[in-house]
């Protein structure tokens, strides 16, 4: 929950040119979001959350952030260009809509929205205001081996990508989770919440613009005290360009693993394959960002940690300043979430949790 990578400072703007606020501190991803923006040259002006304990904890990491008494204070400040938000998932879209209507860009933790009604309204408001509604898909944007894999794919090193397997296991850490985490109407469900990471990567790596949900399933295997909680989910998709994917997400990271999850991506191309072992090379190396490349010409293990950086954040800042679209297309965000919502809506749910 508090995964917050740090990279090298690489400013893309002048001092004071891009100021932002943090608001909604319900998920620890806000720390990674702020790290990325600060390393790219942004300045964190202020923070707001109704919980003073969360604010105090946040300011231990970011003491430069002044404390606001209300969210209206942020919306009224003409110096603030963007708001970074990790509120409870069901609240992110409504906060984003208010923010965009106040003339500011919005950067949300994933999932940035959890219903089709929210999706429709966000699409309408971005079109009306011209503001950005961006999402922190950290499992690609804040992982150096995933960034490097994107470069290899763009260069055609493995040919046309025809299939992706994406695995997103997470540690449950039951005792640390707030009540809303177990409520689908607030968290969005497992395929919406953490499945959107994998769907985003599928569209990005294969170049598909849309996809069909072929199969979706969720289950509760081990949480009898939360009947409707989904601790396992899987989806298969076929892209509009013929590429396919199988995605599996779960809350079953074993206690002995020294990271929160053994996240992996496998890409099959017409001329080679790529495997990403994002956070650990299990039982071999406890370092992160391992990429395994196999083509007709070579087989290599490439360790990318500390070599690639996180260019998304600088591009996002420049997009906000220049009104361009280089970091991520707005329609890409909405299409990812449309597919995640379709998967979540159509998924069969089975409750296999053992009874006392």
Domain boundaries, the chain: 19-136, 140-310+342-351
pLDDT for res 298: 97
Q: Please state, in angstroms and rounded to a whole number, the distance separating the CA atoms of residues 314 and 37.
A: 7
Q: What is the dotted CATH code of the domain comprising 19-136?
A: 3.40.50.720
Residue 67: count other Cβ atoms within 10 Å of its Cβ.
14
pLDDT digit string, tens, across residues 61-97: 999 999 999 999 999 999 999 999 999 999 999 999 9
pLDDT of residue 326: 98
Beta carbons of 117 and 84 less than 8 angstroms apart: no
pLDDT the model gives residue 5? 83
Is 349 within 8 Å of 219 (Cβ atoms)? yes
Residue 308 half-sphere exposure, CB side, CA atoms within 13 Å? 25
Note the pLDDT of residue 143: 98
Chunked into runs of 10 residues, the chain (356 residues) has average pLDDT values of 80 98 97 98 98 98 98 98 98 98 98 98 98 98 98 98 98 94 97 98 98 98 95 98 98 97 98 98 97 98 97 98 98 98 98 89
| Equal fold, 19-136 vs 140-310+342-351 | no
**Which residues make beta-bridge pairs with 236?**
215, 246
Long-range pairs for 223-230 at CB < 8 Å and ≥24 separation? 223/174, 223/182, 223/353, 224/353, 224/354, 224/355, 224/356, 226/182, 227/351, 227/353, 228/182, 228/183, 228/184, 228/349, 229/182, 229/184, 230/184, 230/189, 230/190, 230/191, 230/349
CA-based radius of gyration for the chain: 20
Coil, helix or strand at residue 152: helix
pTM comes to 0.97
Answer whether 339's CB lies under 8 Å from 236's CB: no
The predicted pLDDT at position 34 comes to 98
Fold of 140-310+342-351: Dihydrodipicolinate Reductase; domain 2 (3.30.360)
pLDDT tens-digit profile of 169-196? 999 999 999 999 999 999 999 999 999 9
Q: Where are the alpha helices (DSSP H) in 130-171?
A: 138-141, 144-154
Which tokens go with 128? 């009306």
Closest CA to 93 of 55, 134, 130: 134
Helix axes 330-346, 116-129, angle to 10 degrees: 170
Helices and strands (H, E) in the chain, number of each type: 12, 15
Angle (CA) 104-109-112 rounded to 5° is 75
pLDDT of residue 4: 77
């Amino acid at each position: 929950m508090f995964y917050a990578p740090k990279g090298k400072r690489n400013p893309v703007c002048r001092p004071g040119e891009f100021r932002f606020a943090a608001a909604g501190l319900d998920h620890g991803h806000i720390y990674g979001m702020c790290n990325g923006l600060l390393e790219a040259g942004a300045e964190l002006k202020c923070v707001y959350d109704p919980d003073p304990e969360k604010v105090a904890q946040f300011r231990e990491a970011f003491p430069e952030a002044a404390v606001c008494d209300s969210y209206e204070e942020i919306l009224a400040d003409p110096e603030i260009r963007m708001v970074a938000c990790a509120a409870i998932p069901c609240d992110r879209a409504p906060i984003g809509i208010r923010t965009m209507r106040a003339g500011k860009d919005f950067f949300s933790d994933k999932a940035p929205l959890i219903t089709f009604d929210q999706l429709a309204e966000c699409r309408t408001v971005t079109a009306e205001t011209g503001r950005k509604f961006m999402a922190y898909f950290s499992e690609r944007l804040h992982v150096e081996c995933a960034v490097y894999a994107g470069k290899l794919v763009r260069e055609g090193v493995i040919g046309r990508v025809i299939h992706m397997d994406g695995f997103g296991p997470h540690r449950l850490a039951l005792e640390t989770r707030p009540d809303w985490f177990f409520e689908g109407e607030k968290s969005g469900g497992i395929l919406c919440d953490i499945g959107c990471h994998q769907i985003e990567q599928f569209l990005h790596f294969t170049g598909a613009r849309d996809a069909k949900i072929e199969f979706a399933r969720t289950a509760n295997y081990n949480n009898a005290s939360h009947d409707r909680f989904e601790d396992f989910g899987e989806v298969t998709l076929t892209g509009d360009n013929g590429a396919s994917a199988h995605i599996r997400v779960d809350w079953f990271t074993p206690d002995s693993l020294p990271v929160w999850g053994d996240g992996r991506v496998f890409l099959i191309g017409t001329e080679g394959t790529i495997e990403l072992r994002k956070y650990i090379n299990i039982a071999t190396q406890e370092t992160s960002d391992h990429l395994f490349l196999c083509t007709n010409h070579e087989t290599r293990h490439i360790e990318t940690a500390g070599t690639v950086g996180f260019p998304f954040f600088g591009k996002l800042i420049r997009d906000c300043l220049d009104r361009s679209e280089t970091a991520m297309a707005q329609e890409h965000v909405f299409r990812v979430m449309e597919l995640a919502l379709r998967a979540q809506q159509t998924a069969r749910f089975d409750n296999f949790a053992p009874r006392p």
